[in-house]
Homo-oligomer: A and B are copies of this chain.
Amino acid sequence: EKIYKHSEITSSQYGINVFIIGLFLLLACSIQVVGVSERDLKIFLIILMLIQILWMLWYILRNSTKKSAQKEKDGHAGARWLRCGISFFALTTTAMDALKLGYFVGYRDCMPLADAVYPVVHVIHTLFQVYFLWFHSQDVINSYKTLERFGLIHSVFTNLLLWASAVATESKHQLAEHMGRLSSLGFVNISFEEINPLCNCTTGICHEFSKGIYYIYPFNIEYHILASAMLYVLWKNIGNHIKHHVNKRSFDLHGVAFGTFLGLIVLAATIGAVFIYICRIGRSKTSSESALTIYYWYSITVLFAMSLATVIGLILYKMENKPTVQAHSPSIKLDANLLVGAASGSWITSWGSILALTFSGSYQTYTWFNLPYSVLVIVQKYVQNIFIIDYLYCENKHPDGIVDDIEIPVPIFPSEAVLSENRTTIEAFTDEVKEKKDKDGNIGNIILEDNTAEKNSPDNNAKNNFIDNSNEKDKTQSVQPPDNPTSSNKLRDSRFRKVLLKNLTIFLFLCNISLWIPPAFGCRPQYDNGLEALVYGFSPWIILVDIALPFSIFYRMHSVYSLFDVYCKI
């Protein structure tokens, strides 16, 4: 316990210092400090990746000798679909590295060797890391803590630095495109050129490679942030004794056709809007304006629909009385913090837009769309976070599907009751029902046959049992015993609520995927609309957007994961 706290602090401080050094190198490259080049940063990252590879090798070999029975696992962490997701992103990252190598071959006469070594090491690093996360992301480490802690925190911050470096490259590219558009429209004289190699391409397809690389960047960015989140959960779990039992989640698409349909419409509309935006923006003043107008109308509609759906979901949550998870789970806590933290990114840009509108005197027509758009961005993320976190902390009330099958009308629970007590009484009740099932053969009949039986019948008593704690007897008396019309109504209500909630969640899920696309593939109305840059000045606003936007993109991706989780829990 003592070594555990000690190594937690020591290792986190080590990680922070490594991160600071990396960020400084990145900053120095961005502002083109004399004496530092892109090569220095790459060498630094290569060293970090090599250390991580060595550590992972050590860890994997060390663990392969242990029996699997001895290992503790945290079921909340590293869900299967999360690992599938990271494998997909890793695949695209590998493709990107291949393209980078191809690009290097074309310019091999004038590019430093680090540009060839970097993608090779990165591919090896990716393979090892995916293997590591696939097989070990649920581990709860309880021995050899110090080296594990240092290795994990090193991996977390290595991935964060790779993420930051990818974000910086991507932002620079976006900025160059934006400046190109501005100067072609005659707005600015500043030319912001990306540095191209000084020799000619020998293979003839370097430009295609380069283009391909920038299309894959959004996936690469997601890969690294996701990996560092999973590694952080592993780090947090060291020395934790996992007490809570995790239930298998079910994933079925029964009865969610309506939500899926609406969501797919939004997805289709998004692809259309992004296509129009990218084609039209920067061509001429009028086509830019029409692209912005279309984009704002599309966004406002989608965000409004999402906010509405979320608010309905929250009302449904209030109506149900599911208890909250008691156990401390680092993984759920991290999810919640990441959602709020990442949402702050777009809150910053949105408040920037709103304040810019109030500060500014003269307006263009399309800037007025900016106000409802920004307000809706803030509101939508505000309520969606509450929705997701409320449901993530929900106790999954059907440990073995039985309670779910007969669907007891849930609102009988007194809301102030102590949870742990409830839990055990529920389980006792479930066991009773199970026994009956064995005896009677058909569980469904129990409730339906109950109608005629009055309050004092033994069956009914058994049912009331699970809220019948001595100190709550008076409350229990006021609860109506289920009689036919009410109980079947409640049954119908509860089932209807559940289906409605599933539809809402799948709709939100698809909408969040949709809203991830525009910023990831280059729709940046915060650049193009021009108002904020005018008010705050060009560079302050661009720097702010470049810092905040990656968080906003990550938010969408992360809420997609979380909504999937919520869907499986409902």
Residue ranges of A at the interface with B (Cβ–Cβ < 8 Å): 1-2, 4-6, 9-10, 12-13, 16-17, 20-21, 24-25, 27-28, 31, 33-36, 321-324, 336, 340, 343-344, 347-348, 351-352, 355, 359-361, 378, 382, 385-386, 389-390, 393, 415, 419, 535-537, 540
**A9, B336: Cα distance in complex, Å:** 9
Kindly list chain B residues whose C-beta atoms are within 8 Å of the C-beta of A6. Answer: 386, 390
A-B contact pairs, 22 of them (CB 8 A): A4-B324, A6-B386, A6-B390, A9-B336, A10-B386, A13-B386, A16-B340, A16-B344, A20-B344, A20-B347, A21-B351, A21-B355, A24-B352, A27-B540, A28-B355, A28-B359, A33-B536, A33-B537, A34-B359, A35-B360, A35-B361, A35-B535
The oligomer's copy count stands at 2
**A16, B348: Cα distance in complex, Å:** 10
Known contacts A17-B378, A340-B16, A323 near B355 by CB under 8 Å: no
Kindly list chain B residues whose C-beta atoms are within 8 Å of the C-beta of A21. Answer: 351, 355
- 4 closest A-B pairs (Cβ-Cβ)? A35-B359, A1-B324, A20-B351, A9-B389
| B351 & A386 in contact (Cβ 8 Å cutoff) | no
Kindly list chain B residues whose C-beta atoms are within 8 Å of the C-beta of A415. Answer: 2
| B324 & A20 in contact (Cβ 8 Å cutoff) | no
| A2 & B323 in contact (Cβ 8 Å cutoff) | yes
Chain A interface secondary structure, helix, strand, loop or mixed?
A: helix
**A393, B1: Cα distance in complex, Å:** 11
- Cβ-neighbour of A340 out of B9, B336, B385 (below 8 A): B9
**A336, B351: Cα distance in complex, Å:** 32
Known contacts A2-B324, A35-B360, A536 near B17 by CB under 8 Å: no
**A340, B9: Cα distance in complex, Å:** 9
Kindly list chain B residues whose C-beta atoms are within 8 Å of the C-beta of A389. Answer: 5, 9
Kindly list chain B residues whose C-beta atoms are within 8 Å of the C-beta of A28. Answer: 355, 359, 536
**A322, B25: Cα distance in complex, Å:** 42
| A385 & B9 in contact (Cβ 8 Å cutoff) | yes
| B359 & A9 in contact (Cβ 8 Å cutoff) | no
Minimum CB–CB distance from A513 to chain B (whole Å) comes to 23
Kindly list chain B residues whose C-beta atoms are within 8 Å of the C-beta of A336. Answer: 9
Kindly list chain B residues whose C-beta atoms are within 8 Å of the C-beta of A348. Answer: 20, 24
Minimum CB–CB distance from A275 to chain B (whole Å) comes to 33
Kindly list chain B residues whose C-beta atoms are within 8 Å of the C-beta of A340. Answer: 9, 12-13, 16
- Cβ-neighbour of A1 out of B34, B35, B382, B419 (below 8 A): B419
Minimum CB–CB distance from A386 to chain B (whole Å) comes to 5
Kindly list chain B residues whose C-beta atoms are within 8 Å of the C-beta of A324. Answer: 1-2, 4-5
Minimum CB–CB distance from A250 to chain B (whole Å) comes to 23
| B17 & A351 in contact (Cβ 8 Å cutoff) | yes
**A16, B347: Cα distance in complex, Å:** 9
Kindly list chain B residues whose C-beta atoms are within 8 Å of the C-beta of A5. Answer: 324, 389-390, 393
Minimum CB–CB distance from A381 to chain B (whole Å) comes to 8
Nearest residue, chain B, Cβ from A394: B2
Centre residue among A20, A322, A361, A385 by max chain B CB count within 10 A: A20
Kindly list chain B residues whose C-beta atoms are within 8 Å of the C-beta of A16. Answer: 340, 344, 347
**A321, B9: Cα distance in complex, Å:** 18
**A385, B13: Cα distance in complex, Å:** 9
Centre residue among A4, A359, A415, A419 by max chain B CB count within 10 A: A359
**A64, B5: Cα distance in complex, Å:** 40
Nearest residue, chain B, Cβ from A4: B324
Kindly list chain B residues whose C-beta atoms are within 8 Å of the C-beta of A4. Answer: 324
Known contacts A24-B352, A359-B33, A347 near B9 by CB under 8 Å: no
Minimum CB–CB distance from A360 to chain B (whole Å) comes to 6
Known contacts A419-B1, A540-B31, A351 near B9 by CB under 8 Å: no
**A31, B419: Cα distance in complex, Å:** 53
Minimum CB–CB distance from A557 to chain B (whole Å) comes to 20
Nearest residue, chain B, Cβ from A320: B2
Minimum CB–CB distance from A9 to chain B (whole Å) comes to 5
Sample of 4 further A-B pairs with CB below 8 A, known A25-B355, A31-B537, A33-B536: A5-B389, A13-B386, A28-B359, A33-B537
**A20, B9: Cα distance in complex, Å:** 30
Nearest residue, chain B, Cβ from A36: B359
Kindly list chain B residues whose C-beta atoms are within 8 Å of the C-beta of A20. Answer: 344, 347-348, 351
Nearest residue, chain B, Cβ from A389: B9
Nearest residue, chain B, Cβ from A382: B13
